[in-house]
Amino acid sequence: MDASGIQTKILPEKDGNPVVYGEVKAKDAAKTLLIYGHYDVQPPEPLEEWVSGPFEARVQGKKIIARGAADSKNNVVSFIKAAESYLKTSGKPPLNLKFIVEGEEEIGSPHLPRFIKENKERLKADSVVCYDGDFDETGRAKISLGVKGLLYVELRCKKARDDLHSSYAPLVPNAAWRLVWALNTMKSPDDKILIRGWYDDVEAFTPAQSRLVGKIPFRGENYLKEWGIKKFLKANNNREALKRYLMEPTCTICGFKTGYIGPGSKTVLPGSAMMKIDFRLVYNQNPRKQLQLLKEHLHTHGFDDIQVKPLGFLEPSRTSPSAPISKAAVRASRIAYGSTPVILPRNPASGPDYLFTKRLGLDSIWTGSGPPSAYSHAHAPNEYTTTEDFILGVKYITAIIDSYAKVA
């Protein structure tokens, strides 16, 4: 950012990774656009599955292969280069630009709420672009007018001091079974969350949001082929699958660690067990309220021996399809890619967008460039973007800036 001419500061975060903040001012400009990104990435393991070093950024044909190539270094460098292009040509952008690039998005942005609260004056703007997205599977730009929220928890159960010989099973409580039994009370075989009150605050899509859903192309057969499965869960066709994907809260087991999981057999009775679960939330569920509902549920069902440790809170967000920044991004897509974008009323993934919409009171969109995450191996070995996607990504964010400067 410094090298590109952006006035940049590294702002420390207590107990967390610093935020990189930058500004490019345009004299006499009436508008300010805040652009968000993140510099952290997922761990690279398993290392043995990479075709090259995960941080080499090796170019193979048109692919740039590296951890973070798609999520989200491609996007971050794109908006830096967009700012640089203005400074090297016209000398200034058509509006004021502010940038925040955080280092904890992949773990739920735990320190960003405090940063936003402490820097409200510094972050004053008219709208926000979270440039951390990807393309739709049809190859068109994708614009999300909000994201799902997230509650991430760790469940732990401790019984015996150590793992024991499994012959003691009639005498000693099994920590692994305790977690399994607890999970069985939380979600039914028909994929419904059974925690009392879980759906109470869910808001249905507005008519405008529902109309957007009807326009979204969803080639489910491509996803099924890529994932190696034959059919979607609890959906008879693509339209049903898309609605579930966008509209429903989720409860997902992300990992389960207990007992012996090495080669061969080992007859042990686990003394302890740990599980990680994420809950995707929809508007207007609140992760802290949902956490309390989870704790009350475990207590009611007799699982006070299970410790609940929250690891991440993200509230869901939304922006109107008629917001100026939404209109500007649609126009920018046509300029950069020559096609109308795919507009999602809600991104099924999660991010700190609520900090901009709810805490700063700004319209915000989530968009970006690069291969669809289902194909780019984001968060997996051999993650990639392409040189063409990167160059077009610079043009796309530049077109968003230009279009937003002109839109009423």
Q: What is the pLDDT of residues 128-166, one digit of tens each?
A: 999 999 999 888 999 999 999 999 999 999 999 999 999
Same domain, residue pair 392 and 364: yes
User: Pick from 128, 76, 141, 95: which is nearest to 336 by CA?
Assistant: 141
How far from the centroid of its chain's Cα atoms is residue 109's Cα? 10
Residue that the structure tokens 């699958």 belong to: 241
Same domain, residue pair 81 and 102: yes
Residue 79, domain CATH: 3.40.630.10
Same domain, residue pair 281 and 298: yes
Same domain, residue pair 262 and 379: no
Same domain, residue pair 324 and 305: no
Same domain, residue pair 304 and 321: no
Same domain, residue pair 86 and 182: no
Residue that the structure tokens 């109308």 belong to: 340
Look at phi and psi of residue 224 and say left if phi exceeds 0, alpha if psi is from -120 to 50, else beta: alpha
pLDDT tens for 78-137 read: 999 999 999 999 999 999 999 999 999 999 899 999 999 999 999 999 999 999 999 998
Residue 265, domain CATH: 3.30.70.360
Distance from C-alpha of 109 to C-alpha of 352, rounded to nearest angstrom: 7
The number of distinct structural domains making up the chain is 2
Distance from C-alpha of 73 to C-alpha of 204, rounded to nearest angstrom: 34
Last residue of a domain, one of 269, 293, 314: 314
The reply to whether 306 falls in a domain is yes
Instruction: Supply the range of the domain harboring residue 49.
Output: 7-146+317-406
Same domain, residue pair 28 and 60: yes
Same domain, residue pair 15 and 98: yes
Same domain, residue pair 270 and 394: no
pLDDT tens for 252-300 read: 999 999 999 999 999 999 999 999 999 999 999 999 999 999 999 999 9
Name the pTM for this structure.
Answer: 0.91
Last residue of a domain, one of 265, 282, 314: 314
